[in-house]
């Protein structure tokens, strides 16, 4: 009788206090309200509609599931305490029901569990992310064409004008006054990471005094070699593009527009594959280049500083060859290049490549950082876009200062006018 009354009171409390009980274990002054309604042990929460200890919670669930008839060996009047609760299951169960514990809530909990398992199983059937056969083919084509058009050891690079890393006095070259004194910042930022002798020679030159040192940078001693290297890279990038079926199927006008837009980017992606982040150098077979070579070819820090940073960032992603070639293709098939006509066709190609890259990363990569890889690659592509225009600008400036060194192919690539008539 009295037990029943206590039980009813506890349930009422349960309905009003449930939420705070969940959070607050120590906050209640009333010790009794935290006592298990069945055995008096410490209760940590409401289970199956009543405030009980963890032991009685488990006992009630097992008793419901077992569904065997429990039988009291005594007189069906056992008083259940924390210490004797194991001695009579029948009376313990009776007490559970008396304080309002509900069978149907055990069932629903079980159902929840079953539902959870069903969902998990379903997910495992659907979820294994896989590249579609179309995507596999795309990657295979890209790899194949890339490998046949990218000579990472630079074996085929020959007949070039030699690299001249000396600094020539430049009395005949008049540099405008507002030209930035660009040797200082870049050399010093590089001196830690690249071979110091080159940078050292730069600094020496600089220290000879403002005007003359600044003028000396106007002699682009490395330009003939860098121009030949660039021409060589561009020719390979044209072969790469021409090797792709989707590219060949576009109009000649769009092919040119895409190439003009992407050549600098694809070149940088390719150079990144041979970039050594420790030394800050590009290791192209038996040639090793540093950023100062680009400086001596006439490029300026406005381009070279973000470019070097970009190479470090991208290289540190540790991309696989498949990811590099997908990047190249995404850059090539950019629908928003100036002069593009078949915008929607190229847009679709771009989207498919992006999806292929994402799926590739999802199924081939492991580790917690894999979810960040795709956005990071996309950020690198965006970053390069901001440099393309500056590159074109600087090439044309160099061409103005030292004409007849840069090949017509390079000039054509960076010139703005879209060749719609072709
Ligand atoms: Zn208990
Ligand atoms: Zn009993």
Domain with 110 in it: 2-123
Judge if pTM exceeds 0.85: no
379 in a structural domain: yes
Q: What is the C-alpha to C-alpha distance for residues 340 and 260, in angstroms, rounded to an integer?
A: 11
Report how far apart, in Å, the C-alpha atoms of 211 and of each of 180, 282, 293, 369 are: 11, 31, 22, 49
Indicate the pLDDT class of residue 168, thresholds 50, 70 and 90.
Answer: low
Of the listed ligands, the closest to the CA of 99 is 1
Place of tokens 């009794």: 32
pLDDT tens digit sequence for 335-386: 999 999 999 999 999 999 999 999 999 989 988 888 899 999 999 999 999 9
Please identify, among 123, 156, 188, the residue that sits at the C-terminal boundary of a domain.
123
In this predicted structure, the answer to whether residue 161 has a pLDDT above a threshold of 70 is yes
74 in a structural domain: yes
Report how far apart, in Å, the C-alpha atoms of 17 and of each of 23, 56, 103, 105 are: 11, 20, 22, 19
158 with 96, same domain?
A: no
72 with 139, same domain?
A: no
CA of 60 to the centre of ligand 2 (A): 15
155 with 66, same domain?
A: no
CA of 89 to the centre of ligand 2 (A): 7
pLDDT tens digit sequence for 63-81: 888 867 889 998 999 999 9
Of the listed ligands, the closest to the CA of 78 is 2
128 in a structural domain: no
374 with 274, same domain?
A: yes
130 in a structural domain: no
64 with 177, same domain?
A: no
Report the pLDDT averaged over residues 199-221. Answer: 45
181 in a structural domain: yes
Contact between 150 and 225 under an 8 Å Cβ cutoff? The reply is no
Report the pLDDT averaged over residues 378-400. Answer: 93
Contacts with 13 (C-beta within 8 Å, 6 or more apart), sequence order: 33, 51
42 with 155, same domain?
A: no
150 with 272, same domain?
A: yes
71 with 197, same domain?
A: no
CA of 31 to the centre of ligand 1 (A): 15
Of the listed ligands, the closest to the CA of 85 is 1
Q: What is the C-alpha to C-alpha distance for residues 160 and 167, in angstroms, rounded to an integer?
A: 20
CA of 31 to the centre of ligand 2 (A): 27
195 with 86, same domain?
A: no
pLDDT tens digit sequence for 311-348: 999 999 999 999 999 999 999 999 999 999 999 999 99
Contacts with 124 (C-beta within 8 Å, 6 or more apart), sequence order: none
61 with 175, same domain?
A: no
pLDDT at residue number 29 = 38
Of the listed ligands, the closest to the CA of 72 is 2
Of the listed ligands, the closest to the CA of 93 is 2
338 in a structural domain: yes
CA of 45 to the centre of ligand 1 (A): 11
34 with 148, same domain?
A: no
67 in a structural domain: yes
pLDDT at residue number 217 = 43
CA of 80 to the centre of ligand 2 (A): 8
CA of 33 to the centre of ligand 1 (A): 13
Of the listed ligands, the closest to the CA of 36 is 1
In this predicted structure, the answer to whether residue 110 has a pLDDT above a threshold of 80 is no
CA of 200 to the centre of ligand 1 (A): 80
Please identify, among 123, 152, 183, the residue that sits at the C-terminal boundary of a domain.
123
CATH number at residue 369: 1.10.565.10
CA of 73 to the centre of ligand 2 (A): 6
CA of 111 to the centre of ligand 2 (A): 31
In this predicted structure, the answer to whether residue 421 has a pLDDT above a threshold of 90 is no
N-terminal to C-terminal alpha carbon distance within the chain: 100
Contact between 131 and 359 under an 8 Å Cβ cutoff? The reply is yes
170 with 265, same domain?
A: yes
Higher per-residue pLDDT: 393 or 422:
393
Distance of CA 403 to the CA centre of its chain: 42
Backbone angles phi and psi of 292, in degrees to 5: -65, -25
CATH number at residue 68: 3.30.50.10
Indicate the pLDDT class of residue 278, thresholds 50, 70 and 90.
Answer: very high
Coil/strand/helix, residue 46 = strand
Please identify, among 79, 96, 123, the residue that sits at the C-terminal boundary of a domain.
123
């Amino acid at each position: 009788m009295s037990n029943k009354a206590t039980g009813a009171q506890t349930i009422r409390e349960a309905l009003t206090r449930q939420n705070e009980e969940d959070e607050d274990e120590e906050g209640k002054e009333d010790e009794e309200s935290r006592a298990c309604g069945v055995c008096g042990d410490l209760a940590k929460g409401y289970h199956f509609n009543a405030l009980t200890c963890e032991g009685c919670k488990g006992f009630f669930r097992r008793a419901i599931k077992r569904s065997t008839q429990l039988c009291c060996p005594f007189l069906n009047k056992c008083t259940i305490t924390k210490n004797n609760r194991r001695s009579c299951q029948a009376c313990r169960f009776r007490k559970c029901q008396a304080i309002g514990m509900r069978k149907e809530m055990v069932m629903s909990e079980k159902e929840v569990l079953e539902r959870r398992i069903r969902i998990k199983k379903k997910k495992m059937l659907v979820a294994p992310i896989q590249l579609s056969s179309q995507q596999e083919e795309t990657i295979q084509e890209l790899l194949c064409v890339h490998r046949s058009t990218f000579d990472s050891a630079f074996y085929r690079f020959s007949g070039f004008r030699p690299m001249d890393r000396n600094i020539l006095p430049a009395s005949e070259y008049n540099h405008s006054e507002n030209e930035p004194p660009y040797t200082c910042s870049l050399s010093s930022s590089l001196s830690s990471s690249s071979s110091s002798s080159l940078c050292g020679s730069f600094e020496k030159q600089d220290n000879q005094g403002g005007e003359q040192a600044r003028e000396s940078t106007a002699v682009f001693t490395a330009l003939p070699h860098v121009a030949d290297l660039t021409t060589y890279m561009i020719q390979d990038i044209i072969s790469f593009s021409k090797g792709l079926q989707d590219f060949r199927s576009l109009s000649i006008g769009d092919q040119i527009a895409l190439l003009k837009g992407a050549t600098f980017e694809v070149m940088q992606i390719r150079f990144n594959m041979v970039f050594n982040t420790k030394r800050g150098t590009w290791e192209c077979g038996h040639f090793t280049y540093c950023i100062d070579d680009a400086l001596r070819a006439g490029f300026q820090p406005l381009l070279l500083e973000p470019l070097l940073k970009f190479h470090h960032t991208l290289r540190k992603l540790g991309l696989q060859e498949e990811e590099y070639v997908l990047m190249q293709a995404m850059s090539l098939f950019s629908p928003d290049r100036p002069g593009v006509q078949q915008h929607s066709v190229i847009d679709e190609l771009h989207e498919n490549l992006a999806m292929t890259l994402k799926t590739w990363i999802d199924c081939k990569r492991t580790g917690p950082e894999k979810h960040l890889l795709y956005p990071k690659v996309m950020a690198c592509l965006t970053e390069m876009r901001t440099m393309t225009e500056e590159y074109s600008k600087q090439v044309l400036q160099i061409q103005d200062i030292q004409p007849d060194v840069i090949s017509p192919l390079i000039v054509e690539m960076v010139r703005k006018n879209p060749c719609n008539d072709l």
